[in-house]
Structure 1
Amino acid sequence: MKNIFLALLTCFIITVSYSQDTLTIMHYNILNYGNNTGYCSQENNNIDSKDEYIRTIFNHVKPDIFTVNEISNSQDIQSRMLDNNLNQDGLDKYEMANFIKIADSYIVNQMYFNSSKLGLHSHSIAQSYIRDIDIYKLYYKSNDIEYGDTAFITCLVAHLKAGNSSENANKRSLMVSNTLDYLDDLALDDNYMFMGDFNTYKSSEAAYQLLINNQNNSVQFIDPIDTPGNWNNNYDYRFVHTQSTHSSSNGCAASGGMDDRFDFILISENVRDGNKYVQYLNDSYVAIGQDGLHFNSSINSSPQNQSASEDVIEALYGNSDHLPVVVKVAVDKNPSFINHETVIDELIFNNPIINNLQIKITSADQHRMGISIYNMLGNVVFRDDKFLISGEQIIKYSIDVPSGIYMVVFTEDTGMVTSKKLIVTR
């Protein structure tokens, strides 16, 4: 850290090898995990058996981000998932998000993540009509994180209203509309993923259309496999169906075999195009256990499902009536050293200062900028985030720090980082 600042001060050229990491992201409706109902019980949905199944599936995929629907609202049960199934065989790197809820629902969403690569930035609720839609914002533990530069991934996890009726379709649409309004109010140009059990029967449904045709481009979502259509009970879409793993019901799991596309991971344009350090890896989208040969059939029926090992297929069948959906993304390990274009035409400030810092910025376009001040130990002593308008503007701060040499770091939302020396005298 000291070397970075000394290099900036002395105008040395720092050469950092460009490198990427790959993150695996899995979403899964785990069918009333730890939740007993009138139809799902310990006889037909035993939690000890589910633990064995989930361990098998989890070890097969090894996700860095694992989001779920239909887990009990009991925090003890949510911790059980972490301790019994994820942090096994000597692992202790997985953590779960803090639990919050607003809607009165006995089944909820949750997120688990690989803490050796990721940290939880925030968790909020976008909307609570029928069920909460959760927003989990994660940051990548990049090589530059102490310098203030890293990638963020924001996962929206939804379990939309079930039912093949116009009334239920309208309820799904309202849940999505509420969520998009929330994102519009945030006005953040982030790396978004919208994942969950959507319970949609066709791509023309209003809820789905709102997601993929939203007028706000920053929160317009994309189907990575670009497969619109009438998915329900349609042989032409047999390779994308995610429900049901069972042809006949055991009283808990839905019946009918593989004939619906309910489960999705949609991505924003930033993720598709890699605009903000995170990029979808082409052809990585897959429904685990889907081989296209079990339309209207159980996934473990004849012919043998060879899309995964036999124990994984049996675990998928035994645990839930849904298949998990997986994507992979590339994330930049050294975001501060990637060349990006600037929209700043002029950036000057008074120097040295005693207390008051006045920054003059002339911007070619409106955008966000992070302003951070570091001491020579690499510690942040001041930080702010500004929305800049097109043209000239003056930003004023009162800076209460000891006399000394500091570094002011300006981070544009294009990824461009500019560093300038600041001298404070008392």
Structure 2
Amino acid sequence: MRNLLFIGVFVLHVFLLQGQDTLTVVQYNLLNYGNYTSYCTTANNNINDKDNYLKTIINYLRPDIFSVNEISKSESIHQHLLDQVLNTNGVTYYRKAEFLSEAYSYLVNMLYYNKDKLAMHSHYIAQSYIRDIDVYKLYYRSDDLPQGDTAFIICVVAHLKASSGSDNENKRKIMAENTMNYLNDLNDEDNYLMMGDFNVYSNNEDAYQQFLFYSNPDLRFNDPVDQYGNWHNNSYYSPYHTQSTHSTSNGCASTGGMDDRFDFILISNSIMNGTKEVSYVSESYRAVGQDGQHFNKAVNDSPTNTSVPPDVLNALAYNSDHLPVLMKLAVDKTLGTREFSGLFEDVRLVNPAGSYLDIRLWGKEQSVMELSIYNVLGEPVMNESIHLNRGENHIVRSIQNLKPGMYFVRISDKNSNMLVRKLLKY
């Protein structure tokens, strides 16, 4: 009877804590990352300097989906970003997409993702006029994945033709039209993100109109912040401008200060309305480092920009001439959790698990905790004390002796505060 009561409390606790996860999505133009030219050189765009800036930015944002433009076509550079920026300081959970190329541009797109929460389903090229536009289909590692049920997110990553003028506008239109026609032919009715550096100057440009008003209404995209107008050199849209972080020239970055909205993450109707288990988290969309007070100024000019910590602002100012854009998605699935409690700032449990229990905890202070695993009858099958440091802790324990099935992981302190997670062992 005592065990049944115990497990009842466990189930209730898990039910209250789980049921929805949050994904952080970041899109960023990296400005010739790993690609040297006559104007972007080792002196003014050095990859080692950019790595340090990016590590500061990534550590602050902790994206689950990270799409980039303007990275070198070299696959060794794609791996370099993964190994030297993302999977550093104890982090090991980032993975990258397979590289595909049809346009053979010297600058390409790439997508990185948190493998504890997401997995890559497929990768296609939507169109290759001027530059490739990539279509990455991810799926969420949910607890009903073994039954074939999960949530999908399709990231369409684009870098449209740059510069003003009718000829360049028409080229952007062709790229956008090709992409939308490809998605229409793909006929994959899932959650879509249209993301990238679009290089558009207003919402009236034909390329942008293709995304918002495509002939198939099921494929139309939405601006999460609902800001339509002539963005270029218009102070009214200062809170949404993403370029340029520089007011003076260093020979590589564009200049002129913050006066263009080039970078976007648009969302499909299914995400806008939450009809396919993924929804936009209201008011989560932002241009990171944009305080709305630096129209035609560098992002770190006076007045003091307090929208991000000083070290992050410095990194944003010097890494690229674009600001990253960020938004959050709510996933109506359980597992692969990233949740919060009074004990921890962040908790991530790899689920389902095979031979090893894999947990990352961001502790608020040094402490000694009890780590326990219980079966569905409330019987302990593992118990040990663990010493946690302030900041990130990575705990890996063998569970090879456990039979496949459902378990409950409990982490508790001496004051009976506890954190409980459901674990599926396969």
Q: What is the TM-score with the length of structure 2 in the denominator?
A: 0.74
Q: Is the 8 A contact 1:50 1:319 kept in 2?
A: yes
Partner of 1:37: 37
The Cα of 1:163 is off from its aligned counterpart by 0.8
Aligned amino acid, residue 257 of structure 2: G
- Greater shift in the superposed pair: 214-223 or 248-257: 214-223
The code of the aligned residue for 2:262 comes to: F
Return the offset for 1:18.
6.5
Provide the residue aligned with 1:165 in structure 2.
165
Map 1:207-218; keep pairs closer than 5 Å. Answer: 207-218=207-218
- Cα deviation, residue 253, structure 1: 0.2
- Alpha-carbon distance between aligned partners in 1 of 2:334 and 2:290, rounded to the nearest angstrom: 36
SS at 2:243 equivalent: coil
Residue 190 of structure 1 contacts residue 218 of structure 1 at CA under 8 Å; is this kept in 2? no
Equivalent runs, 1:14-413 vs 2, <5 Å: 19-334=19-334
SS at match of 1:195: strand
Q: Deviations over 1:104-141 (max 9, x none)?
A: 20010000000000000000000000000000000000
1:249 Cα deviation from its structure 2 partner = 1.2
Q: Match of 2:279, as an amino acid?
A: Q
CA gap of 1:106–1:334, structure 2 versus 1, over 3 A, is same
Structure 2 distance, partners of 1:37, 1:275, is 46
CA–CA distance in structure 2, aligned partners of residues 285 and 25 of structure 1 = 9
Letter in 1 for 2:53: Y
Q: Tell me the amino acid that sits aligned with residue 192 of structure 2.
A: Y
**CA displacement at 1:187 relative to structure 2:** 1.4
RMSD: 1.3
Partner AA of 1:23 in structure 2: L
Contact 1:193–1:267 (Cα < 8 Å) also in 2: yes
For the residue of structure 1 that corresponds to 2:239, the secondary structure is: coil
1:116 corresponds to which letter in structure 2?
A: D
Q: What one-letter code is carried by the residue in structure 1 that aligns with 2:142?
A: S
1:238 alignment partner, SS class: helix
* One-letter amino acid matched to 1:318: Y
The one-letter amino acid of 1:240's match is Y
Partner of 1:3: none
Q: For residues 18 and 305 of structure 1, what CA distance do their matches in structure 2 show? A: 36
Q: Distance in 1 between matches of 2:215 and 2:75?
A: 38
2:190 counterpart letter in structure 1: D
Residue 16 of structure 1: how far off its partner (Å):
11
By how many angstroms is 1:215 displaced? Answer: 2.0
Which amino acid letter does the alignment assign opposite residue 25 of structure 2?
A: I
Gaps of 5+ in 1: 1-14, 336-426
Deviations along 1:293-342, one digit per CA (max 9) or x if unpaired, are 1000001111110000110010001100000000100002159xxxxxxx
Structure 1 residue 89: deviation in Å? 1.1
Q: Letter of the 2:22 partner, please give it.
A: T
C-alpha separation in 2, matches of 1:101 and 1:331: 31
Determine the C-alpha separation between the residues in 2 that align with 1:334 and 1:70: 35
Q: CA deviation at 1:188?
A: 1.6
Task: Report the equivalent of 1:420.
Answer: none
- CA shift, 1:230, in A, is 0.5
- 1: CA distance, partners of 2:17 / 2:300: 47
Distance, in Å, in 2 between the alignment partners of 1:217 and 1:93 is: 37
Indicate conservation of the 8 Å contact 2:249/2:255, yes or no.
yes
3-state DSSP of counterpart to 2:240 = coil
Segments of 4+ moved more than 3 angstroms: 15-18
Give the C-alpha shift of residue 90 in structure 1.
1.1
Q: Distance in 2 between matches of 1:68 and 1:101?
A: 15
CA displacement at 1:260 relative to structure 2? 0.2
Quick one: which amino acid aligns to residue 39 of structure 2?
Y
Give 1:59 deviation, angstroms. 0.6
C-alpha displacement of 1:218: 2.0
Which residue is 2:349 aligned to?
none
Partner of 1:367: none
Q: Return the alpha-carbon distance in structure 1 between the equivalents of residues 76 and 183 of structure 2.
A: 31
Q: Partners in 2 of 1:25 and 1:264 — Cα distance?
A: 11
Contact residue 72 and residue 106 of structure 1 kept, 8 A = yes
Residues 21 and 334 in structure 2, CA contact (< 8 A), matched pair in contact too: no
C-alpha contact (below 8 Å) 2:153/2:190 kept by paired residues? yes
**Which structure has the bigger radius of gyration?**
1
**Distance in 2 between the 1:227 and 1:242 partners?**
14
Q: Which amino acid in 2 is paired with 1:180?
A: M
Q: What secondary structure sits across from 1:284 in the alignment?
A: coil
CA distance in 2, matches of 1:192, 1:202: 22
1:162-196 residue CA offsets vs partner (Å, 9 max, x unmatched): 01100000000000000011011111211000000
- Where structure 2 has 5 or more consecutive residues not aligned to the other structure, the ranges are 1-14, 336-426
- 1:244-277 deviations in Å (ceiling 9; x for gaps): 0000110100000000000000000001111111
Identify if the C-alpha distance between structure 1 residues 16 and 281 changes in structure 2 by more than 3 Å, giving closer, same or farther. closer
Equivalent-residue separation in structure 2 for 1:18 and 1:37 (angstroms): 49
Identity rate of aligned residues, in percent?
57
Q: Deviation at 1:154?
A: 0.1
